[in-house]
Structures are given as structure tokens and as C-alpha cells.
A and B are shown apart, each in its own frame.
Chain A
């Protein structure tokens, strides 16, 4: 069932006008059931297992159960994404657990300066020189 929602943990993003999982899914699969106030994946066989919904859910209510048509039960891969790094817990079918931590960005979100301190060497719209070039080359 690729991505699935743990009912107990999902709070429907506190009834805000859009839920985090619905906002992010690149294939528009996550929807909120207005009656139960719980999210669900509406077409599990169109899920890329991209983990975008898993990473963004504020209550860690979403996990992935590997595609049952080729993955044996029992494996779990679960991320915890912070502002500058991501931690992964990989649990094997035989219960072995491995943990990994990787950086994800070196500058805080929201701080990007498009020119990044480079200057553009031309004003000519017809020249092949692009924004920030030749400085950034």
C-alpha cells in the first residue's frame, strides 16, 4: 500500500485549509476525508514511493509499506527531516536496524539570494552571456 496513514497520528493538519501531504504530493494522491478528518492515498498503485508526504507530515503519521507485489513484509525505511539534515532509520525484515544521517542544505530555508553575490557581465539581451556570467563560471 505504498504510502499509508496511521489513523491515530493524523490530525488532518488541524483542519487548516490545506493539509501538508495534499499540498506536497507530486502526483496529487493524498486527500483528506472530510468526514473522518484523516488523510489517505487515493491511488496506491500510482504512488512513486517518493516519500515527499512522509517527510512533510508534521505528526509523522505517514509511512511506506513496500509494494506488496515484489517486496517481502517487514522492511521499514523512515526519515526524520530537520532544517539542515535528514535522519534515516532502516529496519530490515530480520530486525537489523541501521541509521544514517546526511546534510540536506547548507543555508537556511528562505535565505536564498538569487544572484548569490555574482555580478552579470552584460546588459545585452541578445548576447549569449547569462545572468551572473562570466563571474559564476
Chain B
């Protein structure tokens, strides 16, 4: 493929939305409305097809954030306390509250748009847990993306979306973010998007750490392999301050296929036990006191539940089982009438299978291939590898402004969800320290950011000239892997083995090996230390140099090259922040053996910033307000 015959297409807009997932769809939905009233243009760019892009591609079986405010089921404060406790005290109350006060509205819209939500006899939503409601969600993303596209259509020529365009870099004008560049993965086109405001909503990151399965199962990470750290890279490269880059998420899921456990724990009230049938949460409850006040509050934070399980495994009491058999039998036994109890059994069976078929089909396939009937046989569960997903139970992302009416003093700087860089906004997995937003909350945060970004566009009508030299230099950089391949591949007999370059696949494996072994991956029981992290950082510096020699034979490989550069930056900010925070606070996510306890002086945010001018990293400790 010839790197020299790429067309450059320049697209001008006012608000540029990067990504097409839940937060992006929320942003497009909301921004279109306000853009129309204020004569602004909105453009959305997704690397895939919005209909099935991002973490909700397969569908979901539950909406994990719904408060039921109008019915008085919960208050915003209830939710804020829950989130803060689950994150061991490290959360931005203003951001969580802002999402919580609006999220019900998004869920009500989903229902009107055609998402089937489970109802009980009185017509109320069926709760899975306190905050979760059950849905028939196979087409969740189809529905939400259709609404976003319809909203963009209301703008006529002023609303547009681009699919299969991979975003690589921000376009800067002095201290302002004024656009983005990327390339089509279908044709030889380099894109330059110019905008007044840019919203980064490109999801979280996976495959930064080595997955447990490294054969075909490599792609069956819990988090989808197509979200690869673009969000973090984009905000870092723009010079934005980041927060909680150390707070990865390690979910415990059904072993190997990583099927969801939420319905089993919450809806079916199942227990997890060790191989001897002991409930390790009961058995080890005294350990939770070491992590007070969070460990001793209810519900127990996710990372501590993981931790008790890991301790159990270390002692040799594995495998760990989800007692699906026991749970189902118990629910059926509650019904004395035999006919009625048979009906109940059928209903539970269907609910159990739907939970997987709606959102992790692989797990259903896994049960079928192992002849597992959940009502008869328990299934193994295990801790996955680490992921970066701040909309779930991780927290890594950009440090963004809170709303004027909720944010304390320095947590508000002008526009909701704007990063520390002027004109650059973030939401969903791209915005940090506001965990547990999930699908509905990410959509909602996208709406909040979308509206605020239109306000920014209206207040900042000035246009910037991006020089042709600047775009030409970016184009050269983005397409360099194609050129490198072109220049050198004929030298050897095997295009994957060449001393002049590295292909993205091996580059990814090298990153995963470093992260797994030095930054506390699954194979080392999520343990690390200052010495290990320092060594890992040294290895990463070699990688950064070799990144200049990435090579791509075609557009698909060019995308893989950039995905892995994005992952590498995610990795570096992660290691640096783990090094900075000299304590252990989320022991089931990672454990620093040299600082094995939680420390009061680290009841604070660990932030970082890469300075585009000096190329140096700055670490910042910020108070929890």
C-alpha cells in the first residue's frame, strides 16, 4: 500500500464528537437540539458502525444505573455515597451527582424509543439490585444509535456522522483543542476535522495487560478488544490533566468466557464459595476491618470482594464456584405448589440464559460445550485481567469540570465536563473519578457534555487557521507505519520478521508482557511494587522508541499500530500513577507489596499531566472536596 497516494479531506464543524458509543450517542442526541437553536454544526466520528460499536455492541441484559427519583425510590445523595464507598473514598461527588440527577430521564427516553424494560405486575421496572433494572437488551445499541442519528438528522446539513474513521491525534492551536485527525479504514483518505469544541468519548482500554487466554481466546476479554485507549491518549496528548490513572478495574466473572455475575448475585441471590463449599465472604469478614471505613460499610466495595477471593486462592482453596444450582433450587423450593414451581423453574432457566445471550453469548456457548445446566451444576468464577473503564468500577480518565451548582470551588471551571484544556470535553469512559455511570450514566454524561460544549461553541465563535504545514506534518506522522513497511519489507523473506521495523501484533504482546509482569497483571496475582514499576517504566521507554518503527502493510494494520500506541500511553500513565500513590487502596485491583496498607495522607486524587511542550510528566496530588 502506497502511503503517498492518500487524499486529505478537511471537514469543518462546530462540535466534534469523537466516538460512537453510549456517551457519544447521548452527546449527539443532546447537542443536536441545542445546536439547532443556536445555529451550530455537530459532527460525530466512529471507528466502527454506530449500530454495534463500543462496549454495548452485543447488547446488555441490565441498565445498571437507574434511581427512580420520581417514585422516591432513592435520592441522589444515596447514590453518591454508594459510589464513593465502592471506590474506597476516591470519587468526585459533584460529577457523580450530576449524572445521577439526570439519568432517569435517559432511561425513560430509551423505553419510549423501543427498548423493552422488564415490568412487574404493577407496571414498575423490575430491579436486579438497588440501582439496576432488567432489560431485554439485545438491540440496546441499535436503538440508542438510531435515536442519535435521527437527532443529527434534525440538523439537516449541519449534522453529520462518519463511520469507519479511526481517530489518532488532537489538533491544537496554542492551548486550545480545535479538532482531530484520523484516517479511513476503508479507503486511502486522511481526515482533518476542524471544530470549535471537541468531545472525547472513545471508551476505555483493553489488551494493555496480558489476557488470561492467549490462543484464540485472546479476543474474549471481558472488555471489548475494539476499545484501545484512544480516549486517554487523546486527552494526554492535548496536555489535559488526568485523574485516577491507577484505578483499573478487575472484574470477577464466570471463568474464561467472562459471562456476567450480576444477575446471579443480585437477582438470583446466589453465593460464591471455595472448593470446600465455604462462603469466603463470611469466612474472611474480619479482613475487611483492615480497610475501614470502606471495608466495613455495606455493600462491600467490589475490589475488596475480589481481594477476599484472591486470598482464598492463594491459600489453595480454589476453584471458586458460583453456586447456581443451590440458588435456583432455593428459589424454586420457596414455591410449595408443584405446578407453579415447575413454571417458576422454566422462567428462571430462561432468565438465566437470557442474561448471557443478551450480553455475553460466549458464556452460553461455554455452558453448552461443557454440558452445564446451571440448575444442576455450579460454575467456576475467576478474576479477569485488568481493564481501564471509568464508567464501570474503574476510575481512570480526564479531570473534568463539574457543574456550577454542585461543584465545590476549584472543581468548576466554566463548562460542565470540560477538561483542563480549553475546548476539549470528555465523558463516559474518557472522564475520570466518577465511576459507576454504566450505559445509562455514560449516555447521560454525554448529554451533559454535549449541551455544555454547544454553549462553549456559542461563546467562542472565533475560527482558527490550521496551517497546511501543520496538517501535512500530522499526516506524515499518522501514515508513517505504511511508509516504513513499504521501504523495508522486501529486505527479508518474512514480512513479519524484519530488523528494521516491528509489526503491531508483537508490539502489543510486548506491552502486555511488561504490564503483566511488572505492573501487577493477572499472572502475578495483581501484585507489584515500586521496584517492579520502575523497571516496567524502563522497559516502556524502549517501547516508546520502537513505536517510531511500527510498520503496517495495509489500513487494518495501520489501525492496529495506532491502537497499540494508544495503549502504550495508557500503560505509561498507569505505571506512573501507581508509583506516585505510595499505598495500597484497592487491594483486589492491585496490591503494592512495598506499601501493603491504606494511608490517610493518600485520601486524595492522584493526577498526572504530560506537558506537550517539554514532553515531561507532572504528578499532582489533589484534595478530595
Report which A residues bind B (CB closer than 8 A): 1-2, 23-28, 42-52, 64, 66-77, 79, 81, 86, 88, 90-94, 96, 98, 100, 102-114, 116-118, 120, 123, 125-126, 128, 130-133, 136-137
Q: Which residue of A lies closest to B55 (CB)?
A: A26
Contact B225–A67 (Cβ < 8 Å): no
B350, CB-defined interface residue at 8 Å:
yes
CB of B555, distance to nearest CB on chain A (Å): 9
Contact A136–B108 (Cβ < 8 Å): yes
CB of A9, distance to nearest CB on chain B (Å): 20
- 6 A-B contacts (beta carbon < 8 Å): A26-B57, A72-B369, A75-B369, A86-B357, A111-B114, A137-B105
Contact A136–B105 (Cβ < 8 Å): yes
Report which B residues bind A (CB closer than 8 A): 29-30, 32-34, 37-38, 47-49, 51-54, 57-58, 69-70, 98, 102, 104-105, 108-109, 112-116, 136, 138-139, 142-143, 146-147, 150-151, 154, 164, 185, 213-221, 224-226, 256-257, 350, 353-354, 357-358, 361-362, 364-371, 403, 405, 416, 447-448, 451, 454-455, 458, 556, 559
When A104-B116, A133-B105, A137-B69 are in contact, do A50 and B361 touch as well, CB less than 8 Å?
yes
Contact B364–A106 (Cβ < 8 Å): no
When A103-B136, A125-B451 are in contact, do A93 and B370 touch as well, CB less than 8 Å?
yes
Neighbouring A residues of B51 by C-beta, 8 Å: 24
Q: Which residue of B lies closest to A86 (CB)?
A: B138
A28 to B353, CA, bound (A): 28
Known contacts A79-B361, A107-B114, A131-B447, then 10 further A-B pairs from the complex at CB < 8 Å, ordered by chain A residue: A2-B219, A45-B217, A45-B218, A66-B365, A75-B366, A102-B354, A103-B136, A108-B114, A125-B37, A131-B34
Contact B116–A103 (Cβ < 8 Å): yes
Neighbouring B residues of A120 by C-beta, 8 Å: 33
Q: Which residue of B lies closest to A46 (CB)?
A: B219
- In terms of DSSP, what is the predominant structure of the interface of chain A? loop
Contact A50–B365 (Cβ < 8 Å): no
Contact A68–B215 (Cβ < 8 Å): yes
Q: Which of B52, B365, B447 is A49 in contact with, Cβ under 8 Å?
A: B365
A6 to B146, CA, bound (A): 31
Most chain A C-beta atoms within 10 Å of own C-beta, residue among B151, B358, B362, B447? B362
Contact A109–B146 (Cβ < 8 Å): yes
Contact A72–B142 (Cβ < 8 Å): no
Contact A69–B217 (Cβ < 8 Å): yes
Neighbouring B residues of A118 by C-beta, 8 Å: 109, 112
Contact A75–B57 (Cβ < 8 Å): no
Contact B454–A131 (Cβ < 8 Å): no
Neighbouring A residues of B139 by C-beta, 8 Å: 104-105
Q: Which of B58, B403, B454 is A128 in contact with, Cβ under 8 Å?
A: B403
Contact B38–A125 (Cβ < 8 Å): yes
When A106-B114, A107-B113 are in contact, do A90 and B216 touch as well, CB less than 8 Å?
no
When A26-B54, A102-B358, A104-B138 are in contact, do A137 and B30 touch as well, CB less than 8 Å?
no
**A-B residue pair count with CB separations less than 8 angstroms:** 225
When A28-B559, A125-B454, A132-B105 are in contact, do A64 and B150 touch as well, CB less than 8 Å?
no
Contact A26–B53 (Cβ < 8 Å): yes
A129 to B216, CA, bound (A): 48
Q: Which of A42, A66, A105, A137 is B114 in contact with, Cβ under 8 Å?
A: A105
Neighbouring A residues of B34 by C-beta, 8 Å: 125, 131
Neighbouring A residues of B214 by C-beta, 8 Å: 69
CB of B350, distance to nearest CB on chain A (Å): 6
Neighbouring A residues of B164 by C-beta, 8 Å: 28
A76 to B368, CA, bound (A): 7
Neighbouring B residues of A93 by C-beta, 8 Å: 368-371
Contact B112–A116 (Cβ < 8 Å): yes
Q: Which of B30, B136, B213, B368 is A90 in contact with, Cβ under 8 Å?
A: B368
When A104-B116, A105-B115, A125-B38 are in contact, do A130 and B154 touch as well, CB less than 8 Å?
no
Contact B57–A71 (Cβ < 8 Å): no
Q: Which residue of A lies closest to B103 (CB)?
A: A137
Q: Which residue of A lies closest to B214 (CB)?
A: A69
CB of A46, distance to nearest CB on chain B (Å): 5
A110 to B33, CA, bound (A): 19
When A102-B357, A125-B455, A131-B33 are in contact, do A71 and B142 touch as well, CB less than 8 Å?
no
Contact A24–B353 (Cβ < 8 Å): no
Neighbouring B residues of A103 by C-beta, 8 Å: 116, 136
A108 to B216, CA, bound (A): 37
A77 to B34, CA, bound (A): 44
When A26-B53, A66-B366 are in contact, do A130 and B58 touch as well, CB less than 8 Å?
no
When A77-B361, A77-B364, A90-B368 are in contact, do A50 and B216 touch as well, CB less than 8 Å?
no
Q: Which residue of A lies closest to B147 (CB)?
A: A112
Most chain A C-beta atoms within 10 Å of own C-beta, residue among B34, B350, B370? B370
Neighbouring B residues of A72 by C-beta, 8 Å: 369-370
Neighbouring A residues of B58 by C-beta, 8 Å: 48, 50-52
Q: Which of A27, A45, A110 is B216 in contact with, Cβ under 8 Å?
A: A45
Q: Which of B52, B224, B357, B455 is A100 in contact with, Cβ under 8 Å?
A: B357
Neighbouring B residues of A86 by C-beta, 8 Å: 138, 357
Contact B216–A1 (Cβ < 8 Å): yes
Contact B364–A123 (Cβ < 8 Å): no
Q: Which residue of B lies closest to A133 (CB)?
A: B105
